[in-house]
Amino acid sequence: MFSIAEIELKSLAKNNLNNANIVWEDIANRILNICFTYNTKNLNQEKANFPGIDLGNPEKGIGIQVTRRNDAAKFKETIEMVIKNEVYKTFPKLKIFILGRKKATYKLDSQSWECYLQFDVESDILDFDTILNYCQSMETEKLQELAEYLKWELKCDGSINHQSTKKIDAYIEQVKKENSHIMIIGLGKQLPIEKTWVQLQLIKREDLLKMDTSKNNKGTMLTAYHEYSTRDKDVYDVETVLETGRKTVVLAGPGMGKSTLCKKLLFIAIRRGYRAIKVSLMDMAGYIRNGQSFDEALRSTMVQSLGFQLEKQEIEGQFEFIFLDGLDECGDIRKKVAQEISAWSTGHQSVKIVVTSRPIGYDFLPLEDFEHLAIQTLNPDYLNSYVEKILQELEPEHLESNIEWFEKQVIQRKIQDLACRSPLLLGFLLQMSIRKQCFGQYRCELYEQILMEWLQRSSRENEKRISESELLRGIEIIAFYMLNCVDVMYQGVYTKSKIAGYVGMYFEEELECRKLVGQQKAEICVDFWTERGILDRSYFQGEERYLFLHLNIGEFLAGKYISQMTETAKKEWTNSHY
């Protein structure tokens, strides 16, 4: 009978228990009363959102918080809520029951509650293991009662589909793996996502109206946005998004860390025991263009690199958070996607939603009931200390010399401003500090320097199969090609064969070489920049696809290509696209 109870408890741990809270609080209440005869009742049935605790027995003075979270921050919140609302006067004996498994140890300061509560960190934090361990010494009748109750309750709630559970677990593992770090381009080193810096700024509605490009010109909008992103008041840590509003839009300019924000939010949510979805809205837009509903596009995007499909009922109620990255990358259906997000949020009240977008072209009306935040620039006073932490992670053996080089180079105000505003550019500056390269003064100059650094450092590795000038010209052509194909990006135009075919055609003409040679050089070029982290290889609808890892690098390179056109060609291209 113990084995039956263990299997059912593990199933409970894997199932989503944050939705239908009262139902699951009742299940926890019955389990605890069978095992420990607390004789508690569900307090939330008598008073909605009872402060601090969910179950209680006033005669015994026992109050129990039921939660899926297993972190010390949650326990601290519970204790503070119980004390603030004087719940301890009726329920002085606090216990916490985790719907899952607790951590090995917790650091909590008992001085903050010992005058009010009886709560022992070692013995009063209960979890499924507590129940399983207790089952080993339970009387047979009690064990039978517990096992039969669990079997009956799970069947009443719908038998757990273990195949669906495996799919969800596989997705969670995949998304954790993909988002546990960020790549420092050019160094080939990964920085743990928890080491990244992101702070947020609340945007008031009246100021949001100034950023509405449907009513104001881009200059007015950008002035309003930049004014906000450099303020030093009303600043929030990234965790605020998880703990406050249910629906949030985060605005940030190119290279300011929108995707890093989503990665960090996902990391924190999963670390706290929640289940979360993170998807690219550009990919979802592709499925929507092909006739899928928002719900279908979401599931297709979730599993496009996995070998299975997800049905609607398999993910319904299984996730607490969804992070939708890159509304600005949805092209001409951006407004439609925003409207779909709004409608979906109405039908999924238990899910917290975070959307990211660039401010340029953002129409806030479809998402006007969302709270809006802006990614805050790094305070210059903290720049050097933050850089020291990152360099310690990247190259600890040369920490002092790298810090000294960085500080010497950023004395110029323009460079410091760029470093504080753009995590992407800061990553470039860190790479140049490690390589002891001089910084330029402007963004374009920095891009140029970093590209040349990669080329010069890597020219020995490609065995002269292609020259540095050909590699640089190739990536400019790739960027120009992708810019021209934005409107048809979902029609298979970003495959390696299509990109290499386009670049090879240019090589054949500009280098006056044979078609086969031009094609070979083009393929080497694509491989080279993919290996260096400039291009990112992914999959869409089962087909390999290449994109710039950072969109603004692609935009810079496309602009560089256009700048080299003849004046006539520039005018023709501009007139045909704008």
Q: What is the average per-residue pLDDT within 497-504? A: 88
pLDDT for residue 471: 87
Q: Residue 474 is part of a domain; what is its CATH number?
A: 1.10.10
Let me know whether 450 and 521 are in one domain: no
Report the number of distinct structural domains present in the chain.
4
Q: Are residues 285 and 367 both part of a single domain?
A: yes
The answer on 152 and 255 residing in a single domain is: no
Which pLDDT score, from 0 to 100, does residue 510 have? 85
**103 and 175: one domain?**
no
Residue 72 has pLDDT above 60, yes or no: yes
Q: Is residue 150 part of a domain?
A: yes
Highest averaged pLDDT of the listed ranges 192-201, 422-431, 520-529: 520-529
**pLDDT the model gives residue 381:** 76
Task: Summarize the confidence of residues 268-281 as an average pLDDT.
Answer: 87
Residues 242 and 302 in one domain: yes
Looking at residue 470, what is its pLDDT? 87
**pLDDT score recorded for residue 199:** 61
Q: Is the pLDDT of residue 302 over 60?
A: yes
Based on the domain organization, do 421 and 497 belong to the same domain? no
Angle at which helices 128-135 and 21-36 cross, to 10°: 30
My answer on whether 353 and 215 are in the same domain is yes
The domain that holds 219 is classified in CATH as 3.40.50.300
List C-alpha distances in Å: 563 to 366, 374, 502, 570, 571: 37, 32, 19, 8, 11
Q: Is 147 contained in some domain?
A: yes
% of the chain residues with pLDDT over 90: 13
Note whether 353 and 232 are same-domain residues: yes
Domain C-terminal end among 126, 142, 160: 160
Q: Is residue 526 part of a domain?
A: yes
Q: What is the pLDDT of residue 532?
A: 74
Overall average pLDDT of the 417-444 stretch? 76
What distance, in Å, lies between the first and last C-alpha atoms of the chain? 72
Q: Which of 106, 126, 160 is the last residue of a domain?
A: 160
| Same domain assignment for residues 284 and 343 | yes
**pLDDT value at position 407?**
83
- Residues 437 and 356 occupy one common structural domain: no
Phi, psi (deg, nearest 5) at residue 114: -65, -20
**pLDDT at residue 202 in the model:** 56
CA–CA separation, 63 and 43 (whole Å): 9
Strands (E), 107-196: 125-126, 181-184, 189-192
Question: Is 148 in the same domain as 184?
Answer: no
Highest mean pLDDT (candidates 64-68, 197-201, 214-218, 371-375): 64-68
Across residues 2-20, what is the average pLDDT?
44
Q: Radius of gyration (Cα) for the chain, nearest Å?
A: 28
pLDDT value of residue 325: 93
pLDDT at position 542: 63
Q: How confident is the model at residue 22 (pLDDT cuts 50, 70, 90)?
A: low
Average pLDDT over the chain, rounded to an integer: 79
Query: Residue 307: which domain range?
Result: 166-375
Q: How do residues 515-535 score in pLDDT, each as one tens digit?
A: 888 888 888 888 888 877 778
Output the pLDDT for position 246. 81
Do residues 415 and 423 lie in contact, with contact meaning Cβ atoms separated by under 8 Å?
Answer: no
On whether residue 296 sits in a domain, the answer given is: yes
pLDDT of the residue at 222 = 47
> 336 pLDDT band (50/70/90 cuts)?
very high
* pLDDT number for residue 100: 77
In tens, the pLDDT along 228-263 reads 445 555 566 777 777 777 888 988 877 777 888 888
Please identify, among 330, 349, 375, the residue that sits at the C-terminal boundary of a domain.
375
Better-predicted residue by pLDDT, 331 or 15: 331
pLDDT at 456: 64
The pLDDT, as a whole number, for residue 460 is 45
Q: Is residue 571 part of a domain?
A: yes
User: Is pLDDT at 220 greater than 80 in this prediction?
Assistant: no
pTM: 0.62
Does residue 463 belong to any structural domain of this protein? no
pLDDT above 50 for 214: no
pLDDT digits (tens, 9 = 90+) for 375-390: 877 777 778 888 888 8
Considering the domain architecture, whether residues 28 and 132 belong to the same structural domain is answered as yes
- The whole-number pLDDT of residue 324 equals 95
pLDDT digits (tens, 9 = 90+) for 126-176: 988 888 888 888 888 888 888 877 776 655 444 445 677 788 888 988 888
The dihedral built from the CA positions of residue 546, 547, 549 and 555, taken in this order, carries a sign that is positive
pLDDT score of 292 more than 70: yes
Q: Would you state the pLDDT for residue 20? A: 44
Query: Across residues 476-501, what is the average pLDDT?
Result: 82
Mean pLDDT of 325-336: 88
H/E/C letters for each residue in 336-385?
A: HHHHHHHHHHHHCCCCEEEEEECCCCCCCHHHCCCEEEEECCCCHHHHHH
Average pLDDT (489-510) is 83
